[in-house]
Every structure is written in C-alpha cells, then in structure tokens.
Chain A
Amino acid sequence: MTTDPRAAKTAKPINGGWFKVAWLSGLLFAALLLGLAWQMYSGNDPLLGAGTQQAAEPATIKRKIVIERKVIEQPSGYLAEAPAAAEQQNQVQPPYQQPAAPAPAPAAPTTRSS
C-alpha cells in the first residue's frame, strides 16, 4: 500500500467513479421500477390503462338519451278500432317520462258515415 499522496489522489476518483456510476444507476433503476409499478397500480399504465379495474367498476352513465313520444294524428276512427294498442303504448314508456300529450280519448261513434 502506497503512502504517496499523489498516487492516492489519482486512484480515488477512478475507483470512486465506478462505485458512483453503478450505485446511481441502481438507484435510478429502483426509482423507475417503483414509479412504473405505482403508475400501473393506480391504473395509469400507458398500455394496460386501468386494466381489470375498469371492468370491475360499475358502468357510469355518460349520456342519457330521452326518446320523446311522437304523436301521430290519425283519423278519429283509427284509435277507436284499437284502443288496447294505445293503452299498451302508454305502458311501454319509461316511468320518468311524461307523455307529450294526453292520449286522445276514443272517439265517439262517428258522424262521418260513409
């Protein structure tokens, strides 16, 4: 072992440098590994995304489509012939939806005789 201070000065950065580069690389690797694992766990992985988390969560309503009832005026004798069909059409409506217009009452016997 040499006691020459000049030799110690030249040897130190070389050996220390190897250790430092290897150690810092290992540290960077560990930090990246943890970061990527956390990214994956939190559902932000670029490839997997939320993964199975997306499937496990209940579906959220993004857009509600309201189908309005369309009232078609027909000759008054039309519903008189099929009042049951009109009743059935009212029942099919979703409960939150109000009918656009009251259903026309069955027409009285027409005066419009042929």
Chain B
Amino acid sequence: MNGAVDPLEHGWWLASRASGIVALALMTASVIVGLTIGGRFAMHLPKRIRPTLRAEPRLLTRAHEQLAVVSLIAIGVHGLTLLGDAWLRPSLSDIAIPFLIDYKPIFTGLGIVGAYIAVLLGLSYFFRRRIGVARWKRVHRFTIVGWALAVLHTLGAGTDATDGWLFWPVVGSSVLVALLFAARMTDLGMPSRRSAGASQAA
C-alpha cells in the first residue's frame, strides 16, 4: 500500500459521503421539477416538443415523485452508513437528534432538521387526500426549506464541499432553484388561463 490511506478502512464514511451527494442531487432535481410543475413553466414550450423533453405535466409529476422518493432513500442511506464510521463513531441519537453530534453540530443539525422536513412533507404526498389536497399543497411548499437546509448542511459540514467539483454544481443548482422559486412566487411562469388554452391548442 506504500503507506497510503486504505479506502476500505473508511468504507462506511465514503458510502455516507457518496449517498449524501446523491441525496442532494436527487432532492435538487425533485425541487426543480416541482417548481417547474407549480409554476407551469413547461407551458411556455411548444406542445409538440414537450414529449421529447418529457415536459408533459403527467410525466413531470411522475418524475417529481420518483426523484423525491429515491432521494428519501438516499437520505436514509446517508445517515445509516455514517453509523458504521469508525472515526466519527456517532450513536443513533447523534444522527437522529439535531445538534447533538460533536462534529460541526450546527451544520449537521441543520441537515438532520432538513431531512425530517423532507421526509415528513415528502411522504405527506401519499396522505394528501386525507389531509385535504388544498391544505397539503400549502404545506408541501415548505419542502424547499428542507432542501435549503440540506444545501447549508452540505456546504457547512460536507467533507467535499470545498472541492470545486461539488461546490460549483451545488452553488449553480442553488441559483437555478432560487430563480425558479422567485419566478414561482411572483407567478412569472404562470400563464393566464387564456394563453394556457391557446398553448394547449397549438
């Protein structure tokens, strides 16, 4: 081994880092698709190219759902694999209770809170009829808070956050989400019913 660090000794930690990055990527993609659906930004595209871009509302909704559920699985893997790390040695309460762990407690705690928000609001989709669709939609908008906390967690506590290969994609996608969110809040992407109807007819 020439005295080099043996990655197998840090396998759990590496798995946790990799799954954390996957979780953030999926979560970001899900939020982007969700904002696109909510803001009806795909309505601006000509109808004939929407299937090519998979920008049909039905397909976007499915993609949003799939990305969100797989991101929740990745979040679970991210936390559970960290339990095996021999250096950090976190207990179950360290990864389940925010701000308890010794390693960068603020940023790690923000990640745990973000994970809870993502899990609760994400899974609430399956109970939306029981909650009431209108109420569920209002609550579901706060999922972006969970995503924002996940970004802060990545940049503040992520081992690879200082590396450009992770830092710039995170910053770039965050800018995109911020723009989409601003457009969603100001209804920039929302076409009027008349123009939406004209677009459908085109």
- Give B1-22 interface residues, CB cut-off 8 Å to A: 2-7, 10, 14-15, 17-19, 21-22
CB neighbours (8 Å) of B192 from chain A are none
Q: How large is the interface on B (under 10, 10 to 19, 20 to 34, 35 or more residues)?
A: 20 to 34
Question: Do B4 and A53 touch across chains, with their CB atoms under 8 A apart?
Answer: yes
CB neighbours (8 Å) of B144 from chain A are none
Q: What is the number of residues of chain A that contact chain B, defined by CB distance less than 8 Å? A: 29
Question: Do B66 and A41 touch across chains, with their CB atoms under 8 A apart?
Answer: no
Question: Secondary structure of the A side of the interface?
Answer: helix
Question: Do A32 and B3 touch across chains, with their CB atoms under 8 A apart?
Answer: no
Question: Do B4 and A41 touch across chains, with their CB atoms under 8 A apart?
Answer: yes
Which residue from chain B places its CB closest to the CB of A15 in the assembled complex? B62
- Give B37-72 interface residues, CB cut-off 8 Å to A: 54, 59, 62-63, 66-67, 70
CB neighbours (8 Å) of A40 from chain B are 5, 7, 10, 14
Question: Do B162 and A46 touch across chains, with their CB atoms under 8 A apart?
Answer: yes
Which residue from chain B places its CB closest to the CB of A20 in the assembled complex? B66
Expressed in whole angstroms, the Cα–Cα distance for A48 and B67 within the complex equals 33
CB distance from A62 to the nearest CB of B (A): 20
Question: Do A37 and B7 touch across chains, with their CB atoms under 8 A apart?
Answer: yes
Expressed in whole angstroms, the Cα–Cα distance for A37 and B25 within the complex equals 20
Q: A-facing mask of B104-137, CB < 8 A → 1, else 0?
A: 0000000000000000000000000000000000
User: A: which residues have CB within 8 A of B?
Assistant: 13-14, 17-18, 21-22, 25, 28-29, 32-33, 36-38, 40-43, 45-48, 50-53, 55-57
User: B: which residues have CB within 8 A of A?
Assistant: 2-7, 10, 14-15, 17-19, 21-22, 25-26, 54, 59, 62-63, 66-67, 70, 74, 159-160, 162-163
